A and B are shown apart, each in its own frame.
Chain A
Amino acid sequence: MQPVNPQLTRRRFIKGVIASGAVAGTTSLWYAANGQSRPAGAVERMIRLNVNGQDRTVDVAPQETLASTLRYKLGLTGTKLGCNRGECGACTVLVDDVPTYGCSVLTHSMKDGRIETVEGLEAPDGTLHPVQQGFVDALGPQCGYCTPGQVMAAVGLLRANPNPTRQEARMGMAGNICRCGSYDSYLDGVMRAAEIG
C-alpha cells in the first residue's frame, strides 16, 4: 500500500510555517495559511508556479498554503477545503503526479513542482478525463464536495497503477474521506476509468 504522499507530512508543513515566521498556534495557523496577511518576510513573494501546464506568476505570502493560492489567488475553486488541516483530502491536487493535500503544503515549497488541479483534466474540446467520465458513469459523487479531491486521488492512483484491483484502488483512495459515504460508487468509477482510460 502506498501512502498518499510520503514526502509531504503534516510535521514538515508545520515546521515550514514556523520557519516562515507565522504564529504556530492552531487557530492562527489556520488563518495565516489563508495567505491574506502581508507580514514582512525574507521569502520572495512573487513566485512562478506551474499549474495545469501553464506558468502563473503569483504574489504568495510566506506561510500561504497551496490550496489557498489556488482558490483565492488563481480562482481555481475546484480544489475544496473540507478541514484545512490534513484530515479529509478534499483539497487533493497532484504535485509531480503525486496526490498531495493542498491545505498541508506551503505554496513556496511548490516552486519547482508541476501542479495539477481538477480544472486541468478536461481535454480542450471538453472531453472529460477518463476518471471524470468514470465517476459520471458510476454516479460517484453525491454532494460533490469531496469529488474534486477524489478525482485527483484517482488520477494519481491510475498514473501509478493503470489497472488496479478493486482492493488496490481502495487502498490508493484511502486518504480521501467522503461524508456522504459514496466510496462504493467512487470505486466503481475508478474501475470504470481504468477500463476506458
Chain B
Amino acid sequence: MAYMHIGKDFVPPDVTGKVTGRIKYAEDYTREGMVYARLLTSPIPHARVLEIDAAEALAMDGVYGILTADEVYPDGEPQSTGLKILTNHPTLVGEPILALAAVDEKTAETAIAAINVTFERLPFVLDPLDSLREGGPNAFVDGNTFGRQGFTEAKWSSDQVASFRAGNAPAEDAPTTGPIPTFAYGDLEAGFAAAADGFVYEGSFTTAGYPHHSMEPRSAMAYWEDGKLYLHGTSQSLTALANDMAGIIGVAKEDLVFINAATGGGFGQRARAGSIPSMAIPAKMSQKLNRPVMMRITREEEFTIGGARQGFQGWIKVGFRPDGVMSACDIFVVSDNGGKGGGADAFSAADCISILYQTEAVRFRGASVATNTAHRGAQRGPGQNQIAPIISPIMDAAADALGMSRLDIRVVNSAQTGDVGGPQRQPLTSAYMPEALQQAANDFDWEGRQSRRRQRNGSKVTGLGIGQGYHNAGRSGMDGIVMMGADGRLKIHNGVGNLGTYSYASTSRAAAEALKMPWESCDIITGRTDYHLPITSPQDGSNSIFTNTRTCYGAAMDMLAKMKEIAAQGLGGEPADYDISDERVHRIADGGIGMSYAEVAQRAMELGGKFTGEAELPEELAEWTQIAASRLAGTGFMGIYHDPAHSNNPPGFTVTCTEIELDLETGKYEILDMVSIGECGTVMHPQGLKNQLVGGAVWGIGLSALERHLYDPQNGLPASTGYWQSKVPTYLDTPARIETGWVDLPDPENPVGARGIGEPTQGSVSAALTAAISDALDGHIFGAAPITTDMIINHVAGTQEDAVALAQNNFRG
C-alpha cells in the first residue's frame, strides 16, 4: 500500500535538541529557592528501623527538614513487595529510609552523616534456592514470596533443593509459587514418547540478574504552585506514569503537572509509577517545606532502586520428533524476585517457548522467590529474553542429532499467521517467521558460510549462530486526541514517552496518514501533561507502535468523519460523497467543491458540541483522558477516540545470524558479522526500527557475555554498582557494523499494519551469540547467560563447568 508517511524516514522533532544539548532532562531544571534532597539509604540488606535521631542534623545551618516513612505512610507502609517511597523495613542495600533537604547537597550529606539510625539486623538471603530450602532465611519478615494471600513462605525439603542444585529434575510435587506459577497444555507424555526416536535434551541452566543502568539517573525536581504540583521527572509514558504517580503522591490527577520532555533511557523500569516511587520524594518534601526540591540520584543509587532483571535457576527437558518438530517442553524455573518488585518472567519464558517454537505440549512450573538483592521488574523482554540464549543451543543440538540444518529446524518450528500460542492457545494477529528466517539467512549468506563452521585458525575457531526472539507487541483500550485550529494545522496530542524510540513521533504519523496531512502541517503535542494528553499504555513491552497507532489513527478518523459531516452540512450531499486530499475536504464527484481544513476547523468551532469535544465524547474514555478532553473542549476542532479491546496476540519477532571467532587460549571472542531482521508488521519508521534492532543487539551481547549482579555473600553488599562492574557493552564489545533488515508485511489488526519490536531483538541476538559460542566449542551447551571468558577457558581446559552448582548473584565458573 502506498503511504504518505508510513515506512518513510523523517527527522523527529526532538533530535536537534538532543545533538545540541538543548533538550532538557529532569535534572537540567532549576528554580528559584530550590533546595536539594539527599537520601539516607539502608547499609544492610534486611533490617528494621528502630529509631531515627535526626536532632543534630536538623540543627545544622542550611538544613531545611527531613522526610521519613512514617510521614509518607501515616497509616502504615503498604503490604506488598513493591518499592516504597521510603521505608522502615528495608529489604535491600540502598533502599531509601529517609530524605533530608538542605541548601546544597554537600550540606545535606554532612547532615545525613549526623543522623543516627538504629537498625535491627534481620537474616538475609542472596540466592533464591537458599531461601527455598526448609529452615533457610527469608528476604521478608513474613515470608519469601508474595501473592493474593499476602506474604507466604515457599519451602522445599533440603533434599529437593540439593537435587535441583545438582541439576536434576525437580520432584513432581515440588511446590510452586509466584504470580503465574504453572501452566500446561498438550500431552506432554505423548510429546516425549514421540521424541524417543528423535532427540531429547535435559539439563539445568542459570541466567543472571543485572541492572537497567539507564544513562539518565532517575533524578526529579518538584514544586507546588497555586495548589498544583509541578513534577519534573522521567518516564516511558507521560500519561500512564502520571496517572498512577498522582495516587502514589496523593494529589488529584487534575492537580498534577508532570513535565518530561525527554527520558534518558527506559527499558521497562520507567513505564509504571510503582517502579519509580522515588520521584514522590521531592514532591512530598516540597509540599512539606513549601520550596522547590531537586533530588539527584547517583549511579550507585540507580543500581539499587533502578530495577533489574530477574535471574533464573532452572531445569528444562525438550523433545524433538525425528522430523525436527519440538513435540514437548517441560520447564521449571526458580526465579530471583530480589528485595523489592518481582514479576512473571519465568511464566513469560515458557510462554515464549510455546509461541516462538510452536511447541506441541508444554508444562511450566515455577517458584518466584525473594532475595535481599536489587529491585526487580520489567526489563527489556522479561523472561522471553532470559530463555532465548538457553534454548538456542538446544535447538542446534537437536538439528545436529537429527541431521537437519540449523536453519531448517527453526523453519519447521516457526510461527505463521493462523497459529496459536501460550497457555490460552491464543491466535496470533499475524506471523511471518519463516519469511524472517529466510531473509536473515539470505542477507547473512547462512548457507555459504557453513563451510567456515568450526574452522580453526591457530588458537581461534569460527562459530556460527542463528537465533530468534519474540515478545508480545501490542495492547489496546487506550485513547487518542487530535485537535485543529483555524490555521488548519493538525495537533496530535500524544502521551507516549520520549525515551529514545521516537514512537511518540512515529505513532503520531498514523494520524497524519489518516488525514493525508503533510508532516510540515502537523504538531506533536507532548512533553508535559498540562498540554492535555490522552492516556496511553505504559510504553513498555514493545507495545507502543501497535497500541498508539491505533489511538492516533482512530482519533484522526473521528476528525475525518466530522470533516465530511461539516462539508456535507455546508455544501450539500451526504458525508459519504466526500473525500480528502491536499488539506481539503471535497466532493468525490467534483473536486472543486470543498472546504480547506482551516475552513472546516473554523466551522467546527462555530458549531461546537461534538465537533469541539463539548458533547458526545466516547463513553469509555479513561478518567485521565476525560480530564484532558474537558480542558480542551471548546478550544478547537476535536477528533477523539477510545480504542476497543482487540482479542488476539500481536507478536514482535526477530531473527539474528552471527559469525564469531573465539580464541581458545583467552576465552575471548570477536563478533565478526551480525545480521538482524525484524518481523513487526508494516514498518513505520525505518531509521527508528534500525535503532531498535542495533540497540537490542547491544543489549543481547550484554545478556550473553557481560552483565551480571555480584554480591558479597558475607554481608550482602552489592559489588556491581556501576557500569564497569556489571559491564554494559561498549563500542569495542560490539561489532563495527550490525546489518539490519525487515520483513515489512502488514498486520491485519492494526490500521496501518504495524506491530512493535523493542524487546525481541535482544533475545535473537543473545540466542544467536550463545549458539555461535556453543558452535565454536563443538556444540557444548553451557546452560548459562552470561557465558564469561572464565567459563569458556574452564571448559576448554576440561574443568567440569557443568558440575558447578546453580547459584544466583555470585560468580560462576
Q: Chain A residues in contact with chain B, CB under 8 A?
A: 27-28, 30-32, 34, 36-37, 71, 76-85, 87-88, 90, 117-119, 121-122, 128, 131-132, 135-136, 138-148, 151, 166-167, 170-171, 173-174, 176-185, 187
Contact = CB atoms under 8 A, between A and B. Distances in A.
Interface residues of B, number: 66
Nearest to B36: A36
Given A179-B213, A180-B695, A174 B15 contact: no
7 shortest interchain CB distances as A-B pairs: A78-B21, A181-B698, A145-B264, A36-B104, A142-B500, A144-B18, A143-B500
A141 B104 contact: no
Given A136-B15, A141-B15, A179-B728, A148 B21 contact: yes
Contact of A143 (B215, B730, B732, B737): B215
Interface string B665-702: 00000000000000000000001101100111111000
B386 interface: no
B723 A83 contact: yes
25 contacts: A31-B106, A32-B106, A78-B20, A78-B22, A80-B215, A81-B27, A82-B264, A83-B299, A88-B215, A128-B20, A139-B691, A143-B215, A143-B262, A143-B499, A144-B18, A144-B23, A147-B19, A177-B215, A177-B728, A183-B698, A183-B730, A183-B734, A185-B687, A185-B690, A187-B736
B450 interface: no
A143 B265 contact: yes
Contacts of A119: 20-21
Contacts of B731: 170-171, 173-174, 176, 183, 187
Interface of A is mostly: loop
Given A31-B106, A143-B499, 9 more contacts: A90-B215, A132-B19, A138-B687, A139-B15, A141-B500, A145-B262, A178-B215, A182-B500, A184-B734
A79 B11 contact: no
Interface string B701-742: 000000000000000000000111000111110101110000
A129 to B, nearest CB: 8
Interface string B737-764: 1100000000000000000000000000
Contacts of B263: 143
Contacts, number: 192
A109 B811 CA distance: 41
Given A34-B106, A85-B722, A181-B696, A143 B729 contact: no
A135 B19 contact: yes
Contacts of A142: 265, 500-501, 691, 695
B509 to A, nearest CB: 15
A132 B732 CA distance: 23
B212 to A, nearest CB: 8
Interface string B228-270: 0000000000000000000000000000000000111111000
A180 B265 contact: yes
A145 B299 contact: no
B547 interface: no
A145 B261 CA distance: 12
A168 to B, nearest CB: 10
A34 B266 CA distance: 26
A187 to B, nearest CB: 7
A136 B11 contact: yes
Contacts of A90: 215
B705 to A, nearest CB: 13
Which of A30, A77, A144 has the largest count of B CB atoms less than 10 A from its CB?
Answer: A144
A185 B24 contact: no
Nearest to B740: A184
A79 B21 contact: yes
A151 B298 CA distance: 23
Contacts of A174: 730-732
A42 B461 CA distance: 60
B20 A181 contact: no
Interface in B6-24: 9, 11-12, 14-24
B109 interface: yes
B107 interface: yes
Contacts of A82: 215-217, 264, 299, 723
A166 B737 contact: yes
Nearest to A184: B694
Interface string B22-48: 111101100000001010000000000
A174 B728 CA distance: 12
Contact of B736 (A132, A167, A180): A167
B214 interface: yes
A67 B97 CA distance: 29
B765 to A, nearest CB: 10
Nearest to B104: A36
A143 B107 contact: no
Contact of B106 (A36, A76, A117, A170): A36
Contacts of A140: 19
Contacts of A135: 15, 19
A178 B732 CA distance: 12
A76 B24 CA distance: 11
B81 to A, nearest CB: 26
Contacts of A71: 28
A144 to B, nearest CB: 3
B483 to A, nearest CB: 27
Contacts of A138: 687
A144 B261 CA distance: 11
Interface string B76-118: 0000000000000000000000000001111111000000000
Nearest to B107: A37
B699 A181 contact: yes
Contacts of A145: 25, 214-216, 262, 264-265
Nearest to A153: B731
Interface in B270-302: 298-300
B104 A34 contact: yes
